[in-house]
Amino acid sequence: MLVLDTDVAVAVAMGSDRGKLFRSFINGSSHVIGSEYLIAESTHVIRKCIGGNLIEAKDGSKLLRKIDKMIDTFYPIQPDANEALHESIRLNHSPYDMFNFILARRYGATIVSCDQKLIDLCVKEGLDVCTEVPLKN
């Protein structure tokens, strides 16, 4: 089971070189879960990509649909908000990342991320994390 971080989900949706590597890894997973926050954060990243002329505005909705299809089960953030707040305080880390952290811990899932600060936290706290996809020979 995997939990996708926004950086990976957007890279896969955009078809970047890194995203292409992660795509087969994600597709090979039995189940991909995510917080509903993933859609909000992805919307923000896509808007920034449009504003930076990395993609055309007409492609924004298409990318969001691709991200939505990557996730088998979305979990609402409201039930986890209090836990995310307290874990954010305890671990001195972004509450936004705590939604993924909580899901991974709860379900024994692997977080797939390129965010070094989140990766370091996951390793420190004993969570499985995938940062690079092994290339097939």
Say how far residue 13 (Cα) sits from the centre of its chain: 12
* 8-18 residue pLDDT tens: 999 999 998 88
Give the model's pLDDT for residue 30.
84
pLDDT tens-digit profile of 56-68? 999 999 999 999 9
- Compute the distance between CA of residue 18 and CA of residue 14 in angstroms, rounded to an integer: 10
Q: What is the pLDDT of residues 21-39, one digit of tens each?
A: 888 888 888 899 999 999 9
- Tokens linked to 65: 């649909």
Half-sphere exposure of 7 (CA within 13 A, CB side): 15
Tokens 């088998």 correspond to 72
The structural domains of the chain, ordered by start, are: 2-130 (3.40.50.1010)
The pLDDT value given to residue 135: 41
The model's pTM: 0.88
- Please name the amino acid found at residue 78: Q
Mean pLDDT (the chain, rounded):
91
Model confidence band, residue 137 (pLDDT cutoffs 50, 70, 90): very low
One-character DSSP codes across 73-131? EEE-SGGGHHHHHHHHHHHT--HHHHHHHHHHHHHTPEEE---HHHHHHHHHTT--EE-
pLDDT of residue 48: 95
Count the neighbouring beta carbons within 10 Å of the beta carbon of residue 34.
Answer: 26
